[in-house]
Structure 1
Amino acid sequence: MKIGILGVGHIGKTLSRKLGAAGHDVKVANSRGPETIDPTVLATGARAVPAAEAVQGVDVVILSIPLNRIPDIAPLLTNVPTETVVIDTSNYYPARDSEIAAIEAGRVESLWAAEQLGRSIVKAWNAIGSDSFALKGTPAGTPGRIAIPVAADDDSERAVGMALVEDTGFDGFDAGPLAQSWRQQPGAPAYCTDLTRDEMPAALASAEAARLPKRRDLAVAAIVERLGDGTTNPGSEYGVRLSRALYM
């Protein structure tokens, strides 16, 4: 597939390397220009391009940017064909990204993002820690392979998201429509707990929407206390242990 990735942060850079290694034609962009993209992001064949070029002539656009920046990049997608699948990997962390009133009032993050973009989206790769994503991918059929939930309203778009998750070394798990994607948001039992395909259904089903924000903020406070700031992502061992203790 031809894939354009906007954002080369913790998740975006791994997407670039993994999808390039899987044989996809990958273009990547950030907000500062292609010359600022670290060469390691391009190690498996991805090309650094301006943001406007990254979304042109592709089958899939992946947004790996802070959630509060989605309204800013919406104009880039205005002329992107409706058949192009748009995948969002972001999560809402108000202490980091500023508060969004609609989400604070209970709007599902993915539904808010789709409204800002004015088009259907797929939610994927948001429910795995960046260290686990970079280090724990395994071939299909490997015992204990980690699953990543994928939500979308369009069945065919969800299938594309699941197939690409498989290409990055994880089991793509059908998490249903976007209205249910709150079950894979920060604070939920399926979020950053490195579960298998068999473990995922119970985790998604046991999520309690009202408890998610408090659990999310407790995790942030613990990470800040341990690492000293809210921008450094924890290693997979500590991150998974913390997430399981607080979310499950």
Structure 2
Amino acid sequence: MDGVFKAIAGDLGARYMDFRPEHGHQTDLDRGPFILFSYDSDFGNFASLLDREDVKILHLIRDPRDVVISAMHYHKASRESWLHEPIPGYDNLTYQRALQNLPTKFEQYLFEMDNSSASTLRDMERWRYGRANCFEARYEDLRRDEELVTWQRIMTFLGLDAEEQALGSRRFWQNSLFGGLSRLGNKHVRSGAIAQWRREFTPELADAFLKRFPNALQTLGYETNDAWVHELQQPAAPSMFSALRGLAAHHWEGLAGLIRSPSKF
């Protein structure tokens, strides 16, 4: 969305402002058209801006379970500066290093749920839904919107005329995973798939998620109850053959290590 609307702003001659780095500087918003972009659902002291009659909003959410999955993998590898700054309470470790040091994906997901993703999900829950001037969209719908049906509805809602919509459609296609945005070599895209939680979430992880965010899925309309937990597959237990094969491999790796080790005599 950042890439889409930054390009649209350029096409239309509108000011483009990123809320995070320009926080506190959005004071002159009565001078011509503008696009104000925020990565989360919290506009802080500028929340009143959302109630202006001349302002239209596109609010985009994603399945909270996939938010956690995507964020964890992104934070393990991203070069964003905040991930490499020491955080209080973690022995001078950075967020990324603290995450990487955890030995299992289960623990890494828990860390993500207790930290960065926690604020993201709570902001999504606290958002005031039902605003007349807001189009509520879902990542899942846009990810499958190859015919640009949902995107056309969004552009119409935002007040773009036919010529502007043609420009907007081209920009959306250029920045979509089914269009011009390749996953290969893209630092922001690992998968982009919908419902990754079905293969990543175990019953144990689902229980941990529900303890932290008991109402998120119902509030956001992704589930009507907690029955989805019982549909998850238990991790497959290793067969006797694979267990023996793993033991044998470990044994031979140990012998190989002894052979490769220099003599102490």
Whichever structure has more helix as a proportion of its residues is 2
Whichever structure has more strand as a proportion of its residues is 1
Question: Does the pair score TM above 0.5?
Answer: no
The normalised TM-score by structure 1 is: 0.35
Higher relative contact order (CA 8 A, sep 6+): 2
The normalised TM-score by structure 2 is: 0.33
